[in-house]
Chains A and B, each alone.
Chain A
Amino acid sequence: MWPFLFKRLLHLIPLLLGVSLLTFLLMALSPGDYYTALSQNPQISPETLAHLKARFHLGEPWYVQYFYWLKNILHGDFGYSMAYKIPASSLIFERLGNTFLLSFSALILAWGVAIPLGIWAAVKKDSWADRACSLVAFVGLSVPDVLLSLLALWFAAATGWFPVGGAQSPIYDLLSPAQQFWDRAHHLLLPALVLAAADMAGIMRQTRSNLLDTLRAEYVTAARARGLGEGWVIYRHALRNAINPLLTIFGYSLAALLSGAFIVENIMAWPGLGRLTLEAFFAKDSYLVVDSVVLATALLVAGNFIADLLLAWSDPRIRLK
């Protein structure tokens, strides 16, 4: 197990290097940069410009900037946000918290609803319940995140039942802890639902088809032939095997939620990492962009890694290799 873990971590290094290098390159190739914008602003004194240039290596070729960035990262310094005038790390970690909150709420919602529904649909195959689930899943899979986000926004605005955008009320700091909790949940519900919707449909269909496959397996007939009850046969023998392919999907799902959160965050004005990245990109806030992209990549890899670990834990045949 440990050599496997170590190997995966080693793989991460060239991957992150490549991603950060590409991001720097793309930022450099896109027209305009933060330094040029500043230098053309008559309100900024030449002294300030010179100071900024010396401190952050502005105006230098991108590869030089890249190596300074890399050196700083290795010393635990994530660079400085030009637009916000504060260290990038404090910005990123605050936004990362929001993205995690949104993604994991959506994850729990999606899996918590999809798995029981998928099991139900498989056990009651071809019943009205199965058909209804299929129909809802079909709709869920067909409607893109973007449209669903807009619909949710319209719904929030039209009914006034939910806040339009944001993660907390302006008066958040004045509320009691219980009120703060409800305020957060109130803001979270719609974005989390939108983010969970598409995933839910996919996971439900997958659960259903996996369980139908394992219910046809010979070991299920053999378990019935030993006199085991139908509930035991389904939930222990069949479901235990149907889980394995789902764990792989779980890894992708982790990764997809983070990138899916990007769209939902931007449309529904959720102050998360995705929105920060986009804003930083428009502001040419290069360190912030690279930091966020590298972090998102690391999270994606971590998602797949967690899925691998879960799969090894669940399936003894994989443990051996």
Chain B
Amino acid sequence: MPLLEIKNLKMDFGAGAAALRAVDGVSLTIGAGETVCLVGESGCGKSVTALSVAQLVPSPPAHYVGGEILLNGRDTIKMSRAELQQIRGGVVSYVFQDPGASLNPVFRIGSQIMESLKLHRPEKAQDAEVIRLLKLVGIPAPESRLRNYPFEMSGGMQQRVMIAMALASEPRLLVADEPTTALDVTIQAQILDLLRELKQRLGMAILLITHNLGIVGDMADRVAVMYAGQIVELAPARELLLRPLHPYTRALIQSVPKLAGGARRLSAIPGNVPRIGHFPPGCRFAPRCPIARPACAEKIPELIEVEPGRWVRCPFGS
């Protein structure tokens, strides 16, 4: 049994006639100890999918209209509030994009970490354990940091504190939602190194949300590319980067600047990401696709396994 199995997840914002489909039939599995990247532009539904794992999207407006999210074999959509509080921070922990906004500004970091410990591992709720966690995420002189407020730390240090807090409960799955987007490039590399090292040391699985393909090659075992609420390509990371099959994936890779690329013009993807509620009929990427054919605008292509472990939602991609 995989650690996390999302099956044909469909989620709307709003209900009835005003409902807007944000996630449309997403299926994804993550095995124990595996790192999966979820890639896509802003608004493609990747964060909403990730937050759905622990039912963190406020409902309303969120409505789950189909599918299951099996965490350790149990559907989180059907869980009671008490059960959700058990798995949140227990089985699955989250690290968010902006550590400065994700730490409560008026509490000392030691007490915020302690809060998680008291909840999920009360037998270990002591300063010594908080210090051990801070040391684990590479915060120098952790003893003196306990009584710091978040605003007294740099962004990189704040994100390390967030990670320490996420690790407090020894989760099986860490969901990192663009954990480095708000940080300087040099700090980004440090945080990613830390995540990779922690994963090896603690054996937890990571679901990494990013719009940065540069991170994917470094971190991921497998990659899912999302576009307009759907997964358009799912493949092992190396293969996807070396030989992308979906035209959207290809376009994404070509739009990444390369240091050694000389003065080549970056190829931007023409057009805009369709807004939720205004998805085109047929293939959602068709209006921006360089190889689109008339048939593409009629029917949404199926996500098909073209090679073992390689899934593509485009009949012409390969």
Q: Report A's interface with B, CB cutoff 8 A.
A: 217-219, 221-230, 237, 240-241, 244, 314-317
Docked CA distance A191–B52 (Å): 53
Stretch among B90-98, B258-266, B288-296 lining the A interface: B90-98
Selected from B89, B106, B162, the residue in CB contact (under 8 A) with A227 is B89
Known contacts A219-B104, A227-B169, A228-B89, then 5 further A-B pairs from the complex at CB < 8 Å, ordered by chain A residue: A225-B88, A227-B86, A240-B104, A244-B106, A317-B105
Q: Report B's interface with A, CB cutoff 8 A.
A: 54, 56, 81, 84-90, 93-94, 96, 98, 101-107, 115-116, 119-120, 149, 151, 162, 165-166, 169
B84 surroundings in chain A (CB, below 8 A): 227
Given A227-B120, A228-B115, do A316 and B151 touch, yes or no (CB 8 Å)?
A: yes
Which residue of B is nearest A230, CB measured? B81
Docked CA distance A229–B86 (Å): 10
Docked CA distance A217–B96 (Å): 12
A157 to chain B, nearest CB (A): 50
Q: Is B101 touching A225 in the complex (CB atoms < 8 A)?
A: no
A229 to chain B, nearest CB (A): 6
Q: Is B119 touching A228 in the complex (CB atoms < 8 A)?
A: yes
Docked CA distance A219–B105 (Å): 8
Selected from A222, A244, A314, A315, the residue in CB contact (under 8 A) with B102 is A222
B58 to chain A, nearest CB (A): 9
Given A218-B96, A316-B151, A317-B149, do A225 and B105 touch, yes or no (CB 8 Å)?
A: no
Selected from B56, B93, B102, the residue in CB contact (under 8 A) with A219 is B102
| Main SS at interface, chain A | helix
Docked CA distance A205–B314 (Å): 53
A315 surroundings in chain B (CB, below 8 A): 105-106
| A-B residue pairs, 8 tightest by C-beta | A227-B89, A227-B88, A226-B89, A225-B94, A218-B101, A222-B102, A219-B104, A316-B149
B169 surroundings in chain A (CB, below 8 A): 226-227
B86 surroundings in chain A (CB, below 8 A): 227
Selected from B106, B115, B166, the residue in CB contact (under 8 A) with A316 is B106
Q: Is A219 touching B103 in the complex (CB atoms < 8 A)?
A: yes
Of the candidates A218, A227, A237, A314, the one having the most CB atoms from chain B within 10 angstroms of its own CB is A227
Pick 14 A–B contacts, CB within 8 A, sort by A.
A218-B98, A219-B102, A222-B102, A225-B54, A225-B56, A226-B94, A226-B119, A227-B86, A227-B87, A229-B85, A244-B106, A315-B105, A316-B106, A317-B151
A228 surroundings in chain B (CB, below 8 A): 85, 89, 115, 119
Docked CA distance A87–B94 (Å): 70
Docked CA distance A22–B259 (Å): 71
Selected from A217, A219, A224, A316, the residue in CB contact (under 8 A) with B88 is A224
B164 to chain A, nearest CB (A): 12
Which residue of A is nearest B149, CB measured? A316
Q: Is A222 touching B105 in the complex (CB atoms < 8 A)?
A: no
B88 surroundings in chain A (CB, below 8 A): 224-227
B166 surroundings in chain A (CB, below 8 A): 226
A223 surroundings in chain B (CB, below 8 A): 104
B102 to chain A, nearest CB (A): 4
Which residue of A is nearest B108, CB measured? A316
A292 to chain B, nearest CB (A): 40
Q: Is A218 touching B102 in the complex (CB atoms < 8 A)?
A: yes
Which residue of B is nearest A316, CB measured? B149
Selected from B98, B151, B165, the residue in CB contact (under 8 A) with A226 is B165
Q: Is B56 touching A226 in the complex (CB atoms < 8 A)?
A: no
B290 to chain A, nearest CB (A): 38
Q: Is B151 touching A241 in the complex (CB atoms < 8 A)?
A: no
Q: Is B104 touching A237 in the complex (CB atoms < 8 A)?
A: yes
Which residue of A is nearest B100, CB measured? A218
Docked CA distance A155–B81 (Å): 50
Q: Is A226 touching B115 in the complex (CB atoms < 8 A)?
A: yes
Q: Is B96 touching A222 in the complex (CB atoms < 8 A)?
A: yes
B165 surroundings in chain A (CB, below 8 A): 226
Given A316-B151, A317-B149, A317-B151, do A225 and B89 touch, yes or no (CB 8 Å)?
A: yes
B176 to chain A, nearest CB (A): 12
A237 surroundings in chain B (CB, below 8 A): 104
Docked CA distance A240–B96 (Å): 21
B54 surroundings in chain A (CB, below 8 A): 225
A218 to chain B, nearest CB (A): 4
Which residue of A is nearest B116, CB measured? A226
A229 surroundings in chain B (CB, below 8 A): 85
A217 to chain B, nearest CB (A): 7
Docked CA distance A227–B107 (Å): 18
A230 to chain B, nearest CB (A): 7
Docked CA distance A226–B94 (Å): 8
